[in-house]
């Protein structure tokens, strides 16, 4: 039962309240997920973020700085939002929900079927986390998989180039079948404990493209599966691909073994690419879809997203 509803005026006040009440308190953004009938959040203290003025969208040094309380519909309608991110946000139904739901709340909830997190990962986005003295930035991938405990973030793309990354991130935890060993926890982290103030989407190279796709059981249902891909096209080869998939594990995952297999080569034929992706996921059956169905659709939707990104007027970051 809720004992108190708090309205802090500053970020530090919000953090102080969370430190005071610990696990008995949770941050409240738009409330669309916290108030859902299947929500598992039942805190004694709600800490409202409505008064923190974190809803701005700014363009700085070519990158997009999005306040955590920016509603998803405003993000879609802002002309500065990259087209791929706009398309991913538009997959979230319905407009009424998007008018209330915030980008920070969506990321913090860390839902396994998120439509937005895959694209943020594909665009190399970061989240800003406030601290007692200074704020730190971590990648969205680190935030959802490790709890963002480290202030230093190694970008997976650059690590792959240098040969540092010899294993998948969390992609193997739900079941990448390629020859790679994952040492990263697959346990989803709770957004109720970690306050996000901003999401930073860096400026992309003009040859970098991205696209997304999803599958849902009905027009008004949440996605069963959501994917986002990004890549750099040079001549006839693709470079530094990122493949992020939601709906195949406890949180959104990156298929890093497939990324390595595709890097520096022409895009395989549609059927071969779809089969490769299907082998890289091992979802479990749910009341909404069988594991076999999700595996098949993962391959089909990722393959379609690559084709969409490579169209002459494809998704430019």
pLDDT band at 298 (very low <50, low <70, confident <90, very high): very high
What are the residue boundaries of the structural domains of the chain, listed by start?
Answer: 1-53, 54-309
**Per-residue model confidence as pLDDT tens digits over 107-150:** 999 999 999 999 999 999 999 999 878 889 999 999 999 864 33
Q: How far apart are CA 55 and CA 111, in angstroms?
A: 22
How far apart, in whole angstroms, are the C-alpha atoms of residue 239 and residue 246?
A: 22
Mean pLDDT of 66-93: 96
CATH code for the structural domain at 54-309: 3.30.465.10
**What pLDDT does 3 receive?**
81
Whole-number Å distance between alpha carbons of 43 and 168: 35
pLDDT tens digits, one per residue of 197-248: 999 999 988 899 999 999 998 888 889 999 999 999 888 899 999 999 999 9
- DSSP class of residue 191 equals G
**Could you write out the DSSP letters of every residue in 10-64?**
SHHHHHHHHHHHGGGEEEESS-TTTTSTT-----SEEEE-GGG----EEEETTEE
**Strand 45-48 and strand 25-28: pairing?**
parallel
- Return the minimum-mean-pLDDT range out of 8-22, 162-176, 198-212, 244-258: 162-176
Domain 1-53: CATH architecture, name and number where available: 2-Layer Sandwich (3.30)
**Which helix (H) or strand (E) is 137 found in, with range?**
strand 136-139
């Amino acid at each position: 039962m809720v004992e108190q509803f708090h309205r802090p005026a500053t970020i530090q006040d919000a953090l102080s309240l969370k430190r005071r009440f610990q696990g008995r308190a949770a941050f409240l953004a738009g409330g669309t997920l916290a108030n859902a009938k299947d929500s598992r959040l039942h805190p004694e203290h709600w800490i409202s973020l409505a008064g923190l003025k974190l809803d701005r969208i700014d363009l700085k040094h070519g990158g997009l700085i999005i306040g955590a309380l920016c509603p998803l519909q405003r993000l879609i309608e802002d002309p500065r939002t990259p087209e791929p991110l706009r398309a991913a946000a538009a997959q979230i139904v319905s407009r009424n929900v998007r008018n209330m739901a915030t980008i920070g709340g969506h990321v913090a909830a860390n839902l396994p079927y998120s439509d937005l997190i895959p694209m943020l990962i594909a665009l190399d986005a970061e989240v800003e986390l406030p601290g007692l003295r200074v704020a730190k930035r971590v990648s969205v991938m680190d935030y959802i998989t490790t709890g963002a405990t480290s202030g230093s973030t190694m970008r997976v793309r650059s690590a792959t180039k240098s040969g540092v990354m010899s294993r998948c991130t969390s992609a193997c935890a739900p079941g990448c079948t390629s020859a790679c060993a994952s040492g990263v926890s697959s346990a989803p982290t709770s957004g109720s404990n970690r306050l996000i103030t901003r999401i930073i989407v860096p400026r992309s190279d003009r040859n970098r493209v991205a696209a997304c796709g999803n599958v849902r059981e009905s027009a008004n249902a949440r996605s069963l599966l959501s994917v986002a891909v990004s890549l750099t096209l040079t001549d006839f080869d693709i470079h530094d691909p990122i493949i992020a998939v939601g709906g195949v594990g406890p949180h959104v995952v990156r298929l890093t073994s497939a990324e390595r297999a595709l890097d520096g080569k022409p895009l395989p034929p549609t059927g071969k690419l779809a089969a490769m992706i299907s082998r890289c996921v091992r979802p479990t059956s749910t009341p909404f879809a069988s594991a076999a169905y999700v595996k098949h659709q993962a391959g089909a939707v990722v393959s379609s997203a690559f084709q969409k990104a490579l169209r002459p007027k494809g998704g430019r970051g």
